[in-house]
């Protein structure tokens, strides 16, 4: 059994708050704080340029990629860390289309995160091969997979409602229709068991700063199924993805395997933070994380529904169909969330009316969840959300 008291002690959380926003920005692992300080003062400060060879900087995208790979069912050498999730989506989608022949449809759903849809729309324009992005409702995806589809591009867990797609079934269906798959694991990696190999997924990407706790703007990651990795033609071909970066050849020759998906110089301080943050997972079973996350979210839903009749559940009621977050609809959700935050319960808000709460067993326990429901009861019962100071929208909601 995973010792969740022990994992909680690995994080530096401010006193007195219940943090239910680790699905948006994971908190600070103590090891990441120490590692970044050491990387700055020792590696950068004293090794200077030698850090690339002597502090392992050059290999960090692979080292970090392999640590992430263990959490998502990806074999050694099939994941690299770097760039943002948005950029990795561009890399994955264009790589998939480099393998996919003459079909013209990229299929996605209206529950996808907007950046994924924006990146895809413009990538298809830039490719200029006549592809079109087809967006259907999440529940219509299964029926829309047919032999016109080149690539099925989905986010496994809906950022608003937490609805979970069946990656294994949809990947099998896509393959049956002759399509490739690109999965965005932004709300999956570190949140629930993922088995990319078992599902046969072709490409996957995900985020380093949510459930992986790498810090604000932490590097993202990309997975390429090993049997494709030596065949894909990267659209963003940089020197770090070249077969011999320090040969300085004028012509591009891709590195072997997933390393060709690297582009430019990795952000070492951010990469080091993520590297240290991933050690939190040593000795953690993802099955235990999932079981505890369900226990937390089920308790939260029961408590909130008993105490706050004003809030309507926006997430699937069946925990097997949810990721690790729970959302409630409330017309004044922004102000209500601000009032909750002012009272020590931190979640976030997604327009137009979603109050979102993430459940992260590494550092959130049952008592936290019950306390959070109690605060929401006060916010609702005493109409704290109706105060003007909570209605001023900030840039980030
Ligand atoms: C959080 C998230 C992103 C974030 O992309 P960035 O490039 O890091 O800003 C992208 N896609 C999904 C599905 C997300 O949940």
Q: Rounded to an integer, what distance in angstroms lies between the CA atom of residue 362 and that of residue 70?
A: 17
Cα 243–248–251 angle (5° rounding)?
70
12-20: average pLDDT: 97
Is 4-28+285-390 assigned to CATH 3.30.465.10? no
Closest ligand 1 atom to residue 187 Cα is 15
- The residue nearest atom 13 of ligand 1, judged by CA position, is 113
- Residue ranges of the alpha helices (H) in the chain? 4-8, 30-38, 51-54, 60-71, 85-99, 114-127, 141-144, 167-176, 196-199, 226-229, 268-278, 286-307, 333-342, 366-381
Q: What tens digit of pLDDT does each residue of 354-371 get?
A: 999 999 999 999 999 999
Q: What tens digit of pLDDT does each residue of 181-208 get?
A: 999 999 999 999 999 999 999 999 999 9
Site to probe by mutation for ligand 1, drawn from 84, 161, 186 as the one with most ligand atoms within 8 Å of Cβ, is: 186
Q: Rounded to an integer, what distance in angstroms lies between the CA atom of residue 90 and that of residue 80?
A: 15
Catalytic site includes residue 184: yes
* CB-based pocket (< 6 A), ligand 1: 84-86, 113, 115-116, 155, 159, 184, 186-187, 207, 220
Neighbours of 217 (CB within 10 A): 13
Q: What tens digit of pLDDT does each residue of 205-256 get?
A: 999 999 999 999 999 999 999 999 999 999 999 999 999 999 999 999 999 9
- The residue nearest atom 5 of ligand 1, judged by CA position, is 85
Q: Where are the domains of the chain?
A: 4-28+285-390, 56-281
Between the CA of 67 and the centroid of ligand 1 the distance, in Å, is 20
267-280: average pLDDT: 98
Assign 397 a pLDDT band (cuts: 50, 70, 90): confident
Q: Rounded to an integer, what distance in angstroms lies between the CA atom of residue 21 and that of residue 24?
A: 5
Between the CA of 112 and the centroid of ligand 1 the distance, in Å, is 10
Assign 377 a pLDDT band (cuts: 50, 70, 90): very high
Between the CA of 84 and the centroid of ligand 1 the distance, in Å, is 8
Q: Domain 56-281 - what CATH class?
A: alpha beta
Between the CA of 155 and the centroid of ligand 1 the distance, in Å, is 10
- The residue nearest atom 4 of ligand 1, judged by CA position, is 85
Phi and psi torsions of 227, nearest 5°:
-70, -15
Q: Rounded to an integer, what distance in angstroms lies between the CA atom of residue 39 and that of residue 51?
A: 9
Closest ligand 1 atom to residue 155 Cα is 13
Q: What tens digit of pLDDT does each residue of 325-351 get?
A: 999 999 999 999 999 999 999 999 999
């Amino acid at each position: 059994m995973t010792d969740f008291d022990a994992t909680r002690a690995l994080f530096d959380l401010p006193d007195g708050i219940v943090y239910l926003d680790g699905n948006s920005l994971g908190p600070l692992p103590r090891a990441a704080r120490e590692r970044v300080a050491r990387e700055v003062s020792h590696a950068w400060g004293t090794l200077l340029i030698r850090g690339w060879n002597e502090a392992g900087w050059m290999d960090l995208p692979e080292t970090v990629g392999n640590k992430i790979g263990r959490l998502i069912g990806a074999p050694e050498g099939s994941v690299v860390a770097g760039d943002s999730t948005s950029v990795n989506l561009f890399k994955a989608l264009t790589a998939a289309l480099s393998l996919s022949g003459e079909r013209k449809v990229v299929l996605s759903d209206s529950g996808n995160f907007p950046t994924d849809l924006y990146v895809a729309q413009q990538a298809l324009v830039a490719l200029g091969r006549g592809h079109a992005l087809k967006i259907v409702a999440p529940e219509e995806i299964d029926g829309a997979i047919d032999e016109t589809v080149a690539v099925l591009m989905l986010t496994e867990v809906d950022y608003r409602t937490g609805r979970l797609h069946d990656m294994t079934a949809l990947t099998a269906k896509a393959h049956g229709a002759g399509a490739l798959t690109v999965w965005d694991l932004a709300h999956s990696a570190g949140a629930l068991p993922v088995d990319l190999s078992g599902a046969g997924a072709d490409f996957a990407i995900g985020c380093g700063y949510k459930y992986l706790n790498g810090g604000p703007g932490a590097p993202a990651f990309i997975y390429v199924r090993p049997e494709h990795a030596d065949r894909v033609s990267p659209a963003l071909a940089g020197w770090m993805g070249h077969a011999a970066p320090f040969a300085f050849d004028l012509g591009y020759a891709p590195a072997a395997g997933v390393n060709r998906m690297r582009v430019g110089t990795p952000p070492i301080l951010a990469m080091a933070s993520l590297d240290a943050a991933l050690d939190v997972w040593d000795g953690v079973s993802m099955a235990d994380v999932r079981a505890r996350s369900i226990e937390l979210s089920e308790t939260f839903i029961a408590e909130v529904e008993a105490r706050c009749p004003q809030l309507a559940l926006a997430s699937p009621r069946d925990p097997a169909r949810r990721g690790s977050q729970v959302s409630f609809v409330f017309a004044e959700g922004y102000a209500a969330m601000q009032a909750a935050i002012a009272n020590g319960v931190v979640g976030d808000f997604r327009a137009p009316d979603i109050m979102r709460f993430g459940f992260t067993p590494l550092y959130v326990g049952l008592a936290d969840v019950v306390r959070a429901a109690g605060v929401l009861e006060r916010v609702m019962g005493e109409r704290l959300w109706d105060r003007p100071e909570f209605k001023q929208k900030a840039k980030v909601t």
